[in-house]
Structure 1
Amino acid sequence: MSQQLALALASTIRHDGNGGVADDLADVGGLTTWLREHAEPLREYAAEPEPYAGTPDEQLRLDVVALRRAVRTLFAHAVRPGAPSRAESAPLLPVPDAIDQLNEAAGRLPVRPVLGWPDESTPTVAWRCAPADARLRLTAGLARAAIEFLAGPARTQLLACPAPRCVRYFVKEHPRQAWCKPSCGNRARVSRHYQRHAANPPAASAEPPPQ
């Protein structure tokens, strides 16, 4: 789930469908919607049944946007020598600063293992955090998911989508995958077709038009 959550956070910067870039976290309402849509992976990485049960506010939005900036910085670093995403809502951080930011956020929340062993069942381990501010649980969970993804094998398959206007990162799932989704592949093929015809327009006919 670390891949799902890290990519979802990075993908809150996206193509808006009209040639521009949209930010799904541009306001508190957008953050509220995003948290609701990604509740399941957030439960795992925030080490709490409800990673953020309160009402999101502007400070939480700023905290999450700052983490996103660090994640997108490290995604751009990870895809080298390939090209990074074409658009960012803010300039990228220096890589050491982005690493420090993720490590600091992840380390703000102590987590402990809790053993469970119901009768006649297999023992299980659940991770629980010490009582802490809900904001810390959320940002720590996001940072930990990003760290786990960046340190794992899927990082080597991370790419920036090369389709026109797309600004998403994606993990290459099979050798022939070149775009983040089929619609981007279609758009890329249409763009190439247009460019070829623009560079080589059909020759004008020398015959006079019919009378």
Structure 2
Amino acid sequence: MGTNAPLLGEPLPVELMNTIWADRNGGYDALSTPAETTGWLQATGHDVTQAPADLALQLRELRDALRQLAADATDDPRPRTSNVDALAVVNRACALAPSWSSLNTDGSVVRICARTTTEQAISKIAEQAVSLFSGDHRSRLRACLAPGCVLFFVRQHPRREWCSASCGNRARVARHYDRHH
């Protein structure tokens, strides 16, 4: 099935935030239908065969909350698209999948969830978002400020300024144009 959303190898919560993207033809949403939501979940490694209709809505709500938290964390100057109680949304998503650890005879630990696969997926993303916004990655989270880009990324290298090489090229071209016109 797959997804059209840009998958940049970022932490899962950042990948969810980036399910909204833009190019010169307009803006896109990779979670606008249950089929697209299923494709994105499968592309990001979740074992979901068919997402229920309300899952796309839940993921969009979580995405909007994460984008709001990321905008706050990065002092993102771009206009905001939503105004939700972001912390409440993330905490509610974390609570979807009560889980516990189970120790195997070989000494390995397995997390067991008592909920459905889709609730596990939402909870997993929300749990990773809590780690992202409360851990070391928070200070490395960046908004890509290339012209027309709406994506976020985690800065792995001190010189990285954009989410992708194409955004870097677009920003350099825009600076060149501004200098010469």
Q: Is 1:92–2:92 an aligned residue pair? A: no
Deviation string, structure 1 residues 106-152 (Cα, Å, up to 9, x no partner): 1232211110123xxxx11111112x234322221221121111111
In the alignment, residue 74 of structure 1 is paired with which amino acid? Answer: L
Aligned-partner Cα distance in 2 for 1:87–1:138: 29
Write out the 4+ residue segments of structure 1 that deviate beyond 3 Å after TM superposition: none
TM-score under structure 2 length normalisation = 0.87
Aligned-partner Cα distance in 1 for 2:24–2:124: 31
Q: What does residue 110 of structure 1 align with?
A: 98
Deviation string, structure 1 residues 140-189 (Cα, Å, up to 9, x no partner): 12211211111110110111111110110111111111111111111111
RMSD: 1.7
TM-score under structure 1 length normalisation = 0.75
- Aligned pair partner of 1:30 in 15, 21, 36: 36
Q: Between Structure 1 and Structure 2, how many residues are aligned?
A: 172
Q: What does residue 7 of structure 1 align with?
A: 14
Q: Is 1:172–2:179 an aligned residue pair? A: no
The aligned runs of 1:33-72 (5 Å cut-off) are 33-39=39-45, 42=46, 50=47, 52-53=48-49, 55-72=50-67
SS at match of 2:21: strand
Q: How many Å apart are 1:30 and its aligned residue?
A: 1.3
Q: What does residue 126 of structure 2 align with?
A: 143
Q: What does residue 162 of structure 1 align with?
A: 145
Q: How many Å apart are 1:61 and its aligned residue?
A: 0.7
Aligned-partner Cα distance in 1 for 2:66–2:36: 19
Contact 2:14 2:152 in 1 (8 A): yes
Q: 1:158 to 1:11 in 2, by over 3 A?
A: same
Contact 1:115 1:124 in 2 (8 A): yes
State percent identity of aligned pairs: 37
SS at match of 1:14: strand
Larger-Rg structure: 1
- Aligned pair partner of 1:77 in 69, 72, 75: 72
Q: What does residue 129 of structure 1 align with?
A: 113
Q: 1:9 to 1:87 in 2, by over 3 A?
A: farther
Aligned-partner Cα distance in 2 for 1:30–1:108: 22
SS at match of 1:15: strand
User: Which 5+ residue runs of structure 2 have no aligned equivalent?
Assistant: 1-9
Aligned-partner Cα distance in 1 for 2:32–2:95: 26
Contact 2:23 2:149 in 1 (8 A): no
SS at match of 1:196: helix
User: Which 5+ residue runs of structure 1 have no aligned equivalent?
Assistant: 43-49, 199-211
